[in-house]
């Protein structure tokens, strides 16, 4: 079907629209559509219509209408209230008529390629419940092929388009060693937001990432305004190594600091427990505790200096963090005790107690807790470390002087490398000569080595067998498929879950609230509490400050996400973000495309039945000539069948693709129809009973019948079979055990789809669906209350993947499908789909456990530290116990998240 679009500047009202429509009433097979608001005229021409674009333009001019061919415009909008994936889907749904829609959640911008005016598009977005403000405009010709090419240019011509798109926008990353708690994260995010920069903060890895359109110096300056320093990360492998070295050094330092402070603090505490004098009531006690004060001060500054330095940095930017709580708590305990020693006469007799041991014990226990947390936290990023460990450090460069071993970062695209037996592939490339078996299990999960010969592609990180080959480098180190997988995993690990947003809000004010509560509790004890009131007030102040733990809150969500995304990557499942991980845990209905998803996607011609004296080779030659113009999945199998018979294709003078029907084309020997029943019925081609019987037999065997007609007469039935994936039945059985409703969605006829469904155990089949109808079926299932996951691999699946609550693409599928998905299966193993859903549910349960523990800990711990148990039980929490509890809370969260690494999923 052909269509023309015109912009008519003087079409002002419905009366104008009626007059314009009347100009074409006499034209057969022409449908006229007008839009007064956008001043658009669209004419859709069916087969048989002879109206040309020039004739339309002349007819409008004769009627005094100022018409120009419509040009699609890029309109860009800022949408500040667009926050999540569901917002994105709502906006895309409102802009279904647009040629192309691009959404950037981080910068909260929407770009739309459409025939409509900017105002009309803005109104559509506003009608969807959002606020849109125009940014810029760029004109493009409204041509379908041009738009399609532009869309495909966004992804690489590689086997995995999502990976290419993920790395094409390189991220600027900074390592922030002083970031220690959720309050730090909140302050850093707030600083970047105030500067108008979209940034992601990863507490677990102590990293901040942002788009690279910001200068390094500017990003570091923004960090400094929040009280932190940032170190540029130039290479992922170096960053992992640097962080490991930093963590190892910090681990040793914290253990030494813990040993020193506990080595002095424990004897002091035992002295008090076993009847030793802990108050200053004599000159001898004053001298002894004076020496203790000096020793404690030295340890306080040496073993707790990092807490005081962090508190000072926060104070300089008028803020507070976990370091502030520890510094104030321990500093207050020491200062009070030092004042008691310096002037005991200044204090009532019952309040001359010293708390030097408390400040040391608190620092010792917290440092010990941090050391244990560092060791446990290092295990959570083991997946990324293993991926980075796959990267080779050197390669053998083929030169005129012979092979030369060189560092990876010195190799350029186009260089020729030699791959020796047992070596890792250094960079992505194309084999020039030689033959070998390559083990790609580390990237694809496939256990069987793959034979590589001249013309085949090889991927960085894969392992060579016994053979030797040379290959030409096609991608730089930062653009290899392995590097892109690492980038995707790291990006997903830094993303946030909707469940964690409440935590983020609490973390932003947590420290300030705790300080106020501590001060309020101390004042109450001082003015209302029993004697010695001053001592009790000091104990309460210190205990509340120390026991509060924003770190546990801050780590509750990101630690679980990091472990889950890493484990998913090891299983061969790439998860785009935390929101997809959370939504996947709620999926109740899994919709599967048939071709290429449930089946192998490599159909073969298994039979050709000719009738009406048609010649088999003539039919196959004509079919192949037309199908080489088509991108349909079955086209390649028809071309291969012709090639096997050494039939050459002929020139095509006319070609038209009919969505959901087939193709119509003209060759030298006449007009050919190739497709399904709908196509033949549209051209009045009748099938006799024998052909119908053959077709029914084919569909009963899960074969796809392709009907061929020549010059209005039925000529042949071509049967194509696409084998079902070996693991499909077992994988879908796992999904059923998880309680998922399974739906097979296919553009094939109902009999073929039902035959496949019976073999794999799917009860609900929706067949004969056009590409745009797939999206509509997804919406229908959602309206019925289902949380829908759509699994597909083709371009025609992209709208349905985007519309689903969770879109799942196969890594062997098209780039556009992968780009539209929330999850990608690197290998076509459907079993990984079931494992991915199980992992998402386990992750959400793990996060809830972490959050529950963190909230309960703070909700109970702070009131207990404030002394709520004292009036009934006479219990006042010791600051030492508060410090131990605080250290234990963070360690518990990290350890619980690590359980996901070993969680049994099936």
Q: Among all residues, which ones are annotated catalytic?
A: 593
CB 861 within 8 A of CB 885: yes
Rounded Cα gap, residues 437 and 414, in angstroms? 23
Residue 646: Cβ within 10 Å count: 7
End-to-end CA distance of the chain: 50
Helix axes 382-389, 356-380, angle to 10 degrees: 50
DSSP 410-463: G--TT-EEEE-TTPBP-S-EEEEEEEEEEE-HHHH---S-EEE-TT-EE-TT-E
566 token code pair: 């890493």
Rounded Cα gap, residues 842 and 795, in angstroms? 32
Rounded Cα gap, residues 666 and 668, in angstroms? 7
3 state SS of 236: helix
CB 692 within 8 A of CB 682: no
149 token code pair: 């090419």
Residue 84: Cβ within 10 Å count: 15
CB 880 within 8 A of CB 357: yes
Is the alpha carbon torsion for 36, 41, 44, 45 positive or negative? positive
CB 219 within 8 A of CB 176: no
416 token code pair: 């020729």
How many CA within 13 A on the CB side of residue 789?
Answer: 26
Q: Where are the beta strands (DSSP E) in 317-447?
A: 394-399, 402-407, 416-419, 429-439
| CA R_g for the chain | 35
Cα 61 to chain centroid, rounded: 52
Rounded Cα gap, residues 352 and 340, in angstroms? 6
Helix (H) or strand (E) run with residue 229 in it = none
Edge-to-edge order in the sheet of strand 713-721:
604-610, 713-721, 703-710, 670-675, 662-667, 654-658
Q: Which residues contact 706 (CB under 8 A, 6 or more apart)?
A: 623, 634, 638, 662, 674, 675, 676, 717, 718, 719, 720
CB 165 within 8 A of CB 195: no
How many residues are listed for the chain in this entry? 906
Residue 864: Cβ within 10 Å count: 19
How many CA within 13 A on the CB side of residue 271?
Answer: 17
Burial class (CB in 10 A: 0-12, 13-18, 19+), 868: middle
CA distances from 366 to 230, 258, 295, 402, 547 (A): 25, 8, 19, 58, 10
Peptide bond between residue 904 and the one before it cis (omega within 30 degrees of 0): no
Rounded Cα gap, residues 820 and 392, in angstroms? 32
Closest CA to 444 of 812, 727, 157, 729: 812
Rounded Cα gap, residues 201 and 185, in angstroms? 6
């Amino acid at each position: 079907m052909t269509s023309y679009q015109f912009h008519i500047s003087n079409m002002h009202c419905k009366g104008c629209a009626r007059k314009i429509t009347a100009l074409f009433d006499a034209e057969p097979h022409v449908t006229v559509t007008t839009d007064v608001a956008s001043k658009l005229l669209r004419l859709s021409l069916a087969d048989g219509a002879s109206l040309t674009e020039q004739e339309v333009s002349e007819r409008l001019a004769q009627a005094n209408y100022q018409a120009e061919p419509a040009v699609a415009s890029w309109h860009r909008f800022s949408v500040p209230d667009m926050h999540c994936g569901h917002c994105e889907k709502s906006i895309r749904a409102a802009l279904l008529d647009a040629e192309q829609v691009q959404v950037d959640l981080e910068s909260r911008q929407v770009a739309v390629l459409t025939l409509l005016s900017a105002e009309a598009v803005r109104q559509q977005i506003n009608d969807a419940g959002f606020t849109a403000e125009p940014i810029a405009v760029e004109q493009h010709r409204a041509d379908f092929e041009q738009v399609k090419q532009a869309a495909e240019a966004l992804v690489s011509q590689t086997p995995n388009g999502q990976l290419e798109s993920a790395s094409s926008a390189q991220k600027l990353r900074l390592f922030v060693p002083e970031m220690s708690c959720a309050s730090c994260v909140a302050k850093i995010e707030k600083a970047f937001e105030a500067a108008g920069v979209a940034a992601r903060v990863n507490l677990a890895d102590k990293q901040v990432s942002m788009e690279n359109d910001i200068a390094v110096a500017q990003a570091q300056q923004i960090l400094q305004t929040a009280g932190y320093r940032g170190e540029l990360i130039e290479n992922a492998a170096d960053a992992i190594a640097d962080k490991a070295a930093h963590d190892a050094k910090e681990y040793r330092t914290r253990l030494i600091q813990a040993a020193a402070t506990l080595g002095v603090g424990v004897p002091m505490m035992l002295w008090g427990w076993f009847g030793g004098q802990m108050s200053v009531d004599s000159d001898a006690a004053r001298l002894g505790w004076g020496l203790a004060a000096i020793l404690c001060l030295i340890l306080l500054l040496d073993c707790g200096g990092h807490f005081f330095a962090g508190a000072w940095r926060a104070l300089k930017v008028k803020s507070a963090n976990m370091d502030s709580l520890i510094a104030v708590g321990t500093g207050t305990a020491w200062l009070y005790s030092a004042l008691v020693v310096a002037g005991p006469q200044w204090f009532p007799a019952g309040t001359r107690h010293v708390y030097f041991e408390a400040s040391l014990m608190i620092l010792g226990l917290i440092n010990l807790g941090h050391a244990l947390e560092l060791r446990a936290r290092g295990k959570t990023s083991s997946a990324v470390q293993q991926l980075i460990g796959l990267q080779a450090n050197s390669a053998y460069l083929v030169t005129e002087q012979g092979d030369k071993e060189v560092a990876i970062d010195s190799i350029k695209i186009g260089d020729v490398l030699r791959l020796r037996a047992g070596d890792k592939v250094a960079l992505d490339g194309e084999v020039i000569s030689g033959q070998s078996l390559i083990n790609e299990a580390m990237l694809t999960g496939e256990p069987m080595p793959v034979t590589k010969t001249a013309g085949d592609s090889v991927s960085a990180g894969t392992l060579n067998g016994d053979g030797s080959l040379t290959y030409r480098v096609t991608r730089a180190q930062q653009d290899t498929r392995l590097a892109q997988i690492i980038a995707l995993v790291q990006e997903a690990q830094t993303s946030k879950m909707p469940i964690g947003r409440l935590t983020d809000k609490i973390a932003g004010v947590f420290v300030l609230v705790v300080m106020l509560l501590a001060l309020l509790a101390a004042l109450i004890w001082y003015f209302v509490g029993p004697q010695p009131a001053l001592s009790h007030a000091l104990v309460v102040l210190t205990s509340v400050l120390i026991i509060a733990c924003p770190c546990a809150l801050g780590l509750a969500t990101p630690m679980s996400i990091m472990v889950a995304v890493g484990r998913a990557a090891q299983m061969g499942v790439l998860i785009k973000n935390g929101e997809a991980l959370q939504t996947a845990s709620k999926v109740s209905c899994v919709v599967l495309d048939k071709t290429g998803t449930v089946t192998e996607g490599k159909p073969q011609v298994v039979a050709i039945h000719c009738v009406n004296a048609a010649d088999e080779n003539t039919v196959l030659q004509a079919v192949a000539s037309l199908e080489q113009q088509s991108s349909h999945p079955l086209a390649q199998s028809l071309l291969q069948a012709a090639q096997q018979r050494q039939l050459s294709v002929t020139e095509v003078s006319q070609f038209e693709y009919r969505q959901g029907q087939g193709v119509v084309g003209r060759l030298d020997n006449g007009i050919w129809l190739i497709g399904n029943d709908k196509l033949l019925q549209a051209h009045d081609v009748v099938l006799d009973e024998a052909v119908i019987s053959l077709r029914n037999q084919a569909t009963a065997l899960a074969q796809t019948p392709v009907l061929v007609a020549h010059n209005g007469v039925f000529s042949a039935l071509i049967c194509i079979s696409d084998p079902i994936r070996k693991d499909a039945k077992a994988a879908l059985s796992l999904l059923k055990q998880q309680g998922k409703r399974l739906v097979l969605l296919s553009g094939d006829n109902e009999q073929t789809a039902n035959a496949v469904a019976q073999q794999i155990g799917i009860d609900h089949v929706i067949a004969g669906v056009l590409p745009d109808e797939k999206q509509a079926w997804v919406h229908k299932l959602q309206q019925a209350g289902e949380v829908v996951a759509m699994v597909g691999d083709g371009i025609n699946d992209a709208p349905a993947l985007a519309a689903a609550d969770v879109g799942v693409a196969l890594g062997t599928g098209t780039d556009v499908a992968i780009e539209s998905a929330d999850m990608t299966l690197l290998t076509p193993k459907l079993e990984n789909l079931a494992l991915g859903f199980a992992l998402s549910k386990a992750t959400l349960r793990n996060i809830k456990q972490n959050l529950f523990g963190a909230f309960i800990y703070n909700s109970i711990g702070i009131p207990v530290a404030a002394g709520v148990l004292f009036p009934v039980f006479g219990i006042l929490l010791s600051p030492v116990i508060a410090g131990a509890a605080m250290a234990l809370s963070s360690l518990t969260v990290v350890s619980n998240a690590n359980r996901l690494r070993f969680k049994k999923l099936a």
